[in-house]
């Protein structure tokens, strides 16, 4: 008989795990393991991380589009690379701070310090560049 498991039915998981309590039952091992749901759980836990990774190229589209319509914005490929790295590093640093710091006022302080550092580096690069 064919073993049909559905990842979309948590009720079926609960019924199958209670019905198959015998040792050595292949169904009980499969339903108690839940390793087939690991990629879905990782994605759900990292929504903010996925948002950070997707926000970087979207934010880099702003100067790219501005370059097409005006001569005031003139970025080189190195400018896009540096800004992309800065945005990614800042986003990941904020994510790390939000995951590790548990006290709310310290979270706010950590994010403010990270954003202040980003603005200081950006301002320095703008001042040096032109």
- pLDDT tens digits, one per residue of 42-63: 666 688 888 999 999 999 999 9
Is 42 exposed, middle or buried, given 0-12, 13-18 or 19+ CB atoms closer than 10 A? exposed
- pLDDT tens digits, one per residue of 100-121: 999 999 999 999 999 999 999 9
What is the C-alpha separation between 120 and 86, in angstroms, rounded? 11
The domains of the chain are located at 10-41, 47-129
């Amino acid at each position: 008989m064919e073993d049909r498991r559905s990842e979309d039915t948590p009720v079926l998981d609960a019924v199958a795990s209670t019905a198959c309590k015998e040792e050595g039952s292949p169904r009980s091992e499969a339903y108690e393991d839940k390793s087939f749901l690991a990629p879905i759980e990782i994605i759900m836990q990292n929504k903010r991380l996925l948002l950070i990774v997707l926000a970087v190229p979207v934010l880099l589209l702003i100067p790219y589009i501005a370059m097409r319509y005006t001569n005031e914005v003139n970025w080189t490929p190195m400018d896009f690379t540096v800004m992309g790295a800065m945005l990614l590093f800042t986003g990941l640093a904020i994510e790390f701070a939000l995951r590790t710091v548990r006290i709310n006022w310290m979270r706010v302080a950590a994010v403010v310090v990270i954003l202040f550092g980003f603005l200081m580096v950006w301002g320095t690069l703008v001042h040096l560049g032109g």
